[in-house]
Structure 1
Amino acid sequence: MIIIAGLGNPGPKYENNRHNIGFMAADEIARRWRFGPERAKFQSVIREGEVETASGAVRVLLMKPQTYMNESGRAVGETARFYKVRPESVIVFHDEIDLAPGRFRMKTGGGAAGQNGVRSLISHLGADFRRGRMGVGHPGEAHLVMPHVLGDFHKAEKPWLDALLRAVADALPFALAGDDERYQGEVMRLAPAPKYSPRQQARGGE
């Protein structure tokens, strides 16, 4: 089994926030691969399903922790312990301010880089889980980071956002087969990121 966790904050107030791109990715994966219905378990909204890979079907538990972002590790850690899933079989999708909007990177291990959900996961799982880092850009100044990530995506961002979410779901068999490098490449092939630097948003997109 593979556990896939999308990170975000629960409730309609946060639904369209940049910080909730992980929830959006989880929803798109569930839609694309026709996962079962949502239910409440492990302090999360979970769905179960199977995804066909080149070497056969892989069972996936998809979860959206309802603990709020900063406590995501409690829910994911509980789930991993229950199913005896090792960290390398946990894939976490989250927003990444140090990547330009629409960029995507897979990474295993390392630090939290200021992402509080990832920090919580490290404290409950150790560092060796896999991260699908989804770029939302940096506002340019440290004091603007919180309103940036807790702000909604602009209408102008919808084309790259929708393309990235579809690509993350469509290419998922590569990640489930353990080929993160191929997965990253395929996501970026299907959804090339817009051509601007991570900090241009703060300068009005010049």
Structure 2
Amino acid sequence: MSSDELRDEKGEAVSVFIVSLGNPPPHDQSRHSAGHILLKALQSHLGFPAFRRFRPFGNSLVTEGKVADHVNIMLCQCAASMNESGDVVAKAYRQFVSASATGSQDDGWPTLVVLHDEMELAPGQLRLGTGSASAKGHNGLKSVQQSLRSTGLGGRLAAKNGKFLRVGFGIGRPAGSTRKKEDVSAFVLGQLPESEREELEGCAEDLMDLLEEEITK
């Protein structure tokens, strides 16, 4: 994607808030933290400054930059554990809206993008979807959806012509495709294999291509 292409259909600049879901150490390199690993790869791809912890964003790790001179992107690694992500994501997004130039306008709010692991995809695949669609058992997504509803941010985001998107990175399922809770838990909290990690880290450009196509509709 050329950075000059990331404008909306009216040719106006956009702001994008990209937040990753995962778990803190010692599970920060697990399959369940694929969103965090992808976010760090994106930070490197975009050449943004190093992440720093910022209390107004729920003590999450954040970095921000411009692509060309008209695209403002903030990357945020959610500080909460996966199943409790919602409140921190809602707080961080609200803070970004308040600080964004678009936050004071009636015609649009920044796009919200959630990065997460996806068991329903084969390892290495990326899939972009609507953030409000069924979480299909993903507790991190459920938590985010519930917090956006309970705070009213989800409704206001839609009313302000903002977009709520999510991008899943495929991690597949445990051997035998078992759905037993204990097997699934052990699998997602297991270390992401080196080959899949390298594939994940190479997805940053593909991720930006997916977002450019959706955001500029």
Same fold by TM-score greater than 0.5: yes
1:90 positional shift: 0.7
1:37 positional shift: 2.6
Identity of aligned residues (%): 31
Hey, what's the Cα distance between the residues in 1 that align with 2:215 and 2:179?
31
Partner residue, 1:97: 119
Q: Secondary structure at the match of 2:113?
A: strand
Mapping for residues 28-67 of structure 1, pairs under 5 Å: 28-41=41-54, 42-43=57-58, 44-52=60-68, 57-67=70-80
Aligned pair partner of 1:142 in 168, 179, 194: 179
Partner residue, 2:3: none
Hey, what's the Cα distance between the residues in 1 that align with 2:120 and 2:211?
25
TM-score, structure 1 normalization: 0.75
Query: Gapped runs of 5+ residues in structure 2?
Result: 1-14, 98-102, 155-162
CA contact (8 A) 1:88 1:130 kept: no
Q: Runs of 4 or more off by more than 3 Å in structure 1?
A: 85-88, 171-177
For the aligned residue pairs, the C-alpha RMSD in angstroms reads: 2.3
CA contact (8 A) 1:88 1:129 kept: no
1:16 positional shift: 1.8
Highest RCO, 1 vs 2 (Cα 8 Å, sep ≥ 6)? 2
Hey, what's the Cα distance between the residues in 2 that align with 1:7 and 1:103?
17
**1:75-116 residue CA offsets vs partner (Å, 9 max, x unmatched):** 110122223367871111100111111121100131111111
Hey, what's the Cα distance between the residues in 1 that align with 2:72 and 2:202?
20
Matched, 1:171 2:206: yes
TM-score, structure 2 normalization: 0.72
Query: Gapped runs of 5+ residues in structure 1?
Result: 183-206
Aligned pair partner of 1:77 in 90, 109, 133: 90
1:181 positional shift: 9.5
Hey, what's the Cα distance between the residues in 2 that align with 1:87 and 1:71?
24
Aligned pair partner of 2:133 in 86, 110, 120: 110
Q: Secondary structure at the match of 1:171?
A: helix
